[in-house]
């Protein structure tokens, strides 16, 4: 940090704060730009399986409904952890919301973020439940990686 001297007669010397503050604001701007608020609907409890073919979609899904299946078999939906059996009324509400908006259920995509160690049977039960309510598009989410961990 550069010090400004005022010579022998100076009462005090001041540090020039400008470069430090400039740098700090640039760092803040950098982190603000990179912060990912979409993580709000992602849980630390879910460890996604990985696949080299799992590429991020070119365009965002039109009506995504994200269901997260934990290793223990519970479902995380709109911030709540619920048992699989209690999922039906919540999905029914989603269905009613879509119908009120005049949208077809076939336009919605059920995004399933299942833990890599979750039981496949549980995933299939969720798919079956959604099918019975009229949903027909599903997306199995995986993270992009070369090797499965």
Partner 1 sequence: MKVRHVRRHGDEEVEIAMTPMIDIVFQLLVFFIMTFKIVAPEGDFNIRMPIAAPSEGVPDDNQLPPIKIRMKSDDNGRLTSMQVGQYHVGTSFPALHNQIREVVGDDRGPGCIAETAEAELDCDYNLQFKNVIRAITAASGYIDDGRVIKIIEKIKFAPPKPST
From candidates 41, 54, 84, 90, binder to partner 1 by CB under 8 A: 54
Query: Please, is 65 exposed, middle or buried when counting C-beta atoms within 10 Å of its C-beta (0-12, 13-18, 19+)?
Result: buried
Query: How far is Cα 126 from Cα 82, in angstroms, rounded to an integer?
Result: 12
Cβ at position 130, least distance to partner 1 in Å: 9
In the stretch 113-132, what mask flags binding to partner 1 with x, by CB under 8 A?
-xxxxxxxx-xxx-xx--xx
3-state secondary structure of 82: strand
103 belongs to the binding site for partner 1 (CB under 8 A): no
Count of residues making up the chain: 149
Cβ at position 79, least distance to partner 1 in Å: 18
96 belongs to the binding site for partner 1 (CB under 8 A): no
Residue of 129, 140, 131, 144 whose CA lies nearest to 66: 140
Q: Which residue has 């001297």 as its token pair?
A: 5
Query: How far is Cα 144 from Cα 131, in angstroms, rounded to an integer?
Result: 27
From candidates 2, 6, 10, 18, binder to partner 1 by CB under 8 A: 18
Residue number with CB closer to partner 1 (13 or 35):
35
In the complex, which residues of this chain contact partner 1 (CB under 8 A)? 17-18, 21-22, 24-25, 27-28, 31-32, 34-36, 39, 42, 48-57, 69, 106, 109, 111, 114-121, 123-125, 127-128, 131-132, 134, 136-145, 148
């Amino acid at each position: 940090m550069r010090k400004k001297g005022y010579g022998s007669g100076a009462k005090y010397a001041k540090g020039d704060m400008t470069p430090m503050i400039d740098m700090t604001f640039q760092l803040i701007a950098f982190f603000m730009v990179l912060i990912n608020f979409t993580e709000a609907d992602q849980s630390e409890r879910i460890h996604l399986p990985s696949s080299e073919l799992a590429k991020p979609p070119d365009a965002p899904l039109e009506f995504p409904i994200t269901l997260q299946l934990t290793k223990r078999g519970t479902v995380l939906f709109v911030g709540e952890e619920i048992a699989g059996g209690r999922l039906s009324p919540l999905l029914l509400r989603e269905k009613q919301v879509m119908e009120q908006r005049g949208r077809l259920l076939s336009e919605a995509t059920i995004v399933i973020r299942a833990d890599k160690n979750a039981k496949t049977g549980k995933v299939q039960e969720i798919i079956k439940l959604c099918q019975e309510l009229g949903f027909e598009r599903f997306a199995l989410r995986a993270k992009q990686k070369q090797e499965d961990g």
